Structure 1
Amino acid sequence: MRRSLLCIALLLAMGLLAGCGNKGPLVMPPAQPGSTVAPAASAPAPATSVPLPD
């Protein structure tokens, strides 16, 4: 009895988890006309020079 309840609970959990998420193809939406994305400004690399031993 306990084993059948465990199996039913596991099947129910798997069924509920299988229904999660977006449906359909995973594609980017079409771009809106006139909207352009500006490139991100790159930050200069930090100056971390370590003196070499002599």
Structure 2
Amino acid sequence: MEFIKKLIAYLAFLLLLGGVIAYAYPLLTGAGKDVSNDTVKTINDVRNIK
């Protein structure tokens, strides 16, 4: 049971980390602010649908 809890926590951490990287990477590289703005709009749209 303890292993399953650790596994879920690990997967949740990876998901969160992936989200942070996906959000921050375009900002850090400065690779087109249009792209990052589109990403933010898409994320907001998804949140609004829920």
User: TM-score if structure 2 supplies the norm length?
Assistant: 0.44
Which is bigger in relative contact order (C-alpha 8 A, separation at least 6)? 2
More helix by percentage: 2
Q: Looking at CA atoms only, which structure, 1 or 2, has the larger radius of gyration? A: 1
User: TM-score if structure 1 supplies the norm length?
Assistant: 0.41
